[in-house]
Structure 1
Amino acid sequence: MTYFLATFVVFVLVIAAMSVGYIFQKKAVSGSCGGLGSIGIDKECDCPDPCDNRKNKMAKEKARREMLEKNRII
């Protein structure tokens, strides 16, 4: 139990130190490599045409948005 408490205290201190550093620097948290945008890929799948599964999801989302817009107007 002593090892657990010591480890827990160390983790809490490290997280607190990182938090204080983040608060004083006031910088946004960012990845080290910039993600896919840094290599010119705008989306996860760089296909010119989405697959059928994605098309179905997009159609459902569009229909849901249209329904919500229609209900807001009335």
Structure 2
Amino acid sequence: MQVFLITFGVFMLVIAAMAIGYIFQRKTISGSCGGLGSVGIEKECDCPEPCDNRKQKLAKEAARRKMLSEHRII
């Protein structure tokens, strides 16, 4: 039980130190390797042509945006 408490305390100290560092530096938290963009993949599936379901979702979203922009009163 003593080992568990010591380990838990060490983890809490590390988490607190990271939180304090984040508060003072005000940087966004990011991965160390830059993610998929660093290896040339622009999207998750990296397919040349989206599937039918994706095309339908994109068409619905485009229609929704068009409708909202046409009905907007300025």
TM-score by length of 2: 0.72
Aligned to 1:33: 33
| More helix per residue | 1
State how 1:14-53 maps to structure 2 within 5 Å.
14-53=14-53
In structure 2, stretches of 5+ residues that fail to align are: none
Aligned to 1:66: 66
1:13 Cα offset (Å): 4.8
Number of residue-to-residue matches in the alignment: 69
Aligned to 1:3: none
Q: Tell me the amino acid that sits aligned with residue 68 of structure 1.
A: L
1:18 Cα offset (Å): 1.7
1:55 Cα offset (Å): 0.1
Alignment partner of 1:57: what SS? helix
Paired-residue identity, %? 71
RMSD over aligned CA atoms reads 2.4
TM-score by length of 1: 0.72
Alignment partner of 1:72: what SS? coil
